[in-house]
Amino acid sequence: MKLDIQGHSGCDIAIVYEDNELHIHKSTHDAGYVPRLVNQANKQIAASNREYQNIRVPKVFAVEQTDSDAVIKMEYIYSKNYVEYFENAGFEQIKYLIGAIEYFIDLEINASTMQTVPSHILTDKMADVARKVANNAHLKDDREALELVNRSQAVMDGVGDMVMPVGTCHGDLTFSNILFNGNNYYLIDFLDSFIESPLLDIVKIRQDTAYLWSTLMYNKPFDKVRLSIVSEKIDKAIDEYFTSRYQWYRQYYMPLQLMNFLRILQYGHDEKVIAYIKRVIAGQLESYN
């Protein structure tokens, strides 16, 4: 039995019943995407070999690859999405989740080494964003967006070399890439990151907790007030936790969160989403005035 479902990454996702249990087959038929999907699989395999307490990673059973196709065969997780989970979670479950996120990122930090990320990594990425925004049909005539990009370039030019832990990260640690199964949280859709730093995972999780990004993509009715209250609670806890521990977090979180939203903006095509991202970026740039 095979059931096709919509994936987030552009890959095909199928739920397959074989060997008396459900499996997920994630595949691509785009030759250009094959190496990326295989890298994701390797990242997931490496992560699934580590212990994270309540944070878990679906087991990868096989990675099959040709020049033009790739498929990852992995464990199916019975789960709820984050909106359904937050709508039902009692306060103690939210407390466990906060603890699990902090624990997971601390393990990533311990598995990384403090390294200097040269300033050009950020400025090159900024130049790339500026090019893509200028070439994006939905943005190239948007004076407000171009102005925000210009102001952001000045911020990125001022950051300089960054000293931070580098080595391990999920790469796209938003709530939509976490499957909630009781008090176990399964991470899916690992991704390459332009800096392989746990700081980028904090940036991505706060993309949801501080800015409610994933709710923009959620199209079923839900209790927005409750979700906002939960998100605010998680965000405050995470921010206080890392602020109290790490200088690199205090120093580089803001420019990297700005870069994160610029990288989303560059591919923007939905008017509502573009307006939202512009508001977020404008708000972030306020703190530099």
Partner 1 sequence: MMTLIVPIAASHADIHKLPQPFRFDDEGTMFCVKAITGLPLSEIKDIYFVILREHEERFMLSEQLSMQFRKHGLTNAHVTILDQPTTSQAETVTQAIRLNDIKGIVFIKDADCYFTTDEILPQNGVAIYALENLPLVDPQHKSYVAVDDMFYVTNIIEKRVVSHFFSAGGYCFEDAQEFCRYYDRLRDYSPLYLSHIIYAMLLDKKIFRPIQIDDYQDWSIDALFKRN
Taking the complex as a whole, how short is the minimal distance between the CB of residue 180 and partner 1, in angstroms? Answer: 15
Cα 75 from chain centre: 21
Nearer to partner 1, 150 or 228 (CB): 228
- Which of 224, 245, 250, 279 touches partner 1 (CB under 8 A)? 224
Asked if 91 and 138 count as a contact pair (C-beta separation under 8 A), the reply is no
Locate all alpha helices (DSSP H) within 79-181, ordered by sequence.
82-88, 91-111, 119-135, 143-157
- Which of 66, 88, 110, 150 touches partner 1 (CB under 8 A)? 88
Nearer to partner 1, 32 or 90 (CB): 90
CA distance 214 to 177: 10
Taking the complex as a whole, how short is the minimal distance between the CB of residue 216 and partner 1, in angstroms? Answer: 17
Nearer to partner 1, 96 or 194 (CB): 96
Count the neighbouring beta carbons within 10 Å of the beta carbon of residue 192: 13
Asked if 62 and 194 count as a contact pair (C-beta separation under 8 A), the reply is no
Taking the complex as a whole, how short is the minimal distance between the CB of residue 227 and partner 1, in angstroms? Answer: 10
Token pair in block for residue 82: 């984050």
Nearer to partner 1, 138 or 233 (CB): 233
Taking the complex as a whole, how short is the minimal distance between the CB of residue 225 and partner 1, in angstroms? Answer: 4
Question: Which candidate, 49, 157, 165, 62, places its Cα nearest to that of 112?
Answer: 165
Total of residues contacting partner 1 (CB under 8 A):
15
Question: Which sign, positive or negative, has the C-alpha torsion 19, 25, 29, 30?
Answer: negative
- Which of 218, 226, 254, 285 touches partner 1 (CB under 8 A)? 226
Nearest-Å Rg of the Cα atoms of the chain is 19
Nearer to partner 1, 183 or 228 (CB): 228
From 34-42, 65-73, 90-98, 122-130, give the range in contact with partner 1 by CB under 8 A: 90-98
From 65-73, 83-91, 163-171, 199-207, give the range in contact with partner 1 by CB under 8 A: 83-91
Q: Find all residues with CB under 8 Å of 216, minimum gap 6, and list them.
A: 272, 273, 276
Hey, which residues does 71 pair with through a beta bridge?
A: 27, 64
Q: Is 223 an interacting residue with respect to partner 1 (CB under 8 A)? A: yes
Backbone φ and ψ for 90, nearest 5 degrees, come out as -75, 170
Count the neighbouring beta carbons within 10 Å of the beta carbon of residue 161: 11
Taking the complex as a whole, how short is the minimal distance between the CB of residue 111 and partner 1, in angstroms? Answer: 30
Asked if 185 and 179 count as a contact pair (C-beta separation under 8 A), the reply is yes
Q: Is 125 an interacting residue with respect to partner 1 (CB under 8 A)? A: no
- Which of 19, 21, 67, 92 touches partner 1 (CB under 8 A)? 92
Q: Is 137 an interacting residue with respect to partner 1 (CB under 8 A)? A: no
CA distance 54 to 95: 12
- Which of 199, 202, 205, 230 touches partner 1 (CB under 8 A)? 230
Taking the complex as a whole, how short is the minimal distance between the CB of residue 87 and partner 1, in angstroms? Answer: 6
**Contact footprint for partner 1 (CB under 8 A):** 87-92, 94, 223-226, 228-230, 233
